[in-house]
Amino acid sequence: MMRSRFSAFALGDAAYLRHSWHSATRPERLELDAGTRWTRLEIVETGQGGLFDSAGTVRFRAHYREGGRAGVLAEHSRFAREDGRWVYLDALPQ
């Protein structure tokens, strides 16, 4: 799920991002910054999220370029099953 959402950010696919977001935390609208180019995803750590789990976490670093400068977004995300499929729930505090 994390990799597909990163790809959606890289491609600017806001519809997929909203579809893969938990209904309780999904924003009504999502506007992506066209000036941000997502370049690489590093999965740092995962917790749960297996076949029989209903929740899981992913700690990651997403690399990007914006205005000619490189940057990194680090997040510890929570995912949950909703209607039988994995969706992004929210970010845990750092």
Q: Which residue has the tokens 């039988």?
A: 84
At 38-65, the pLDDT tens digits run 999 999 999 999 999 999 999 999 999 9
Q: What is the pTM of this model?
A: 0.93
Residue 22 and residue 78 in contact, taking contact as beta carbons nearer than 8 Å: no
Is pLDDT at 94 greater than 90 in this prediction? Answer: no
* Residue showing tokens 């994995």: 86
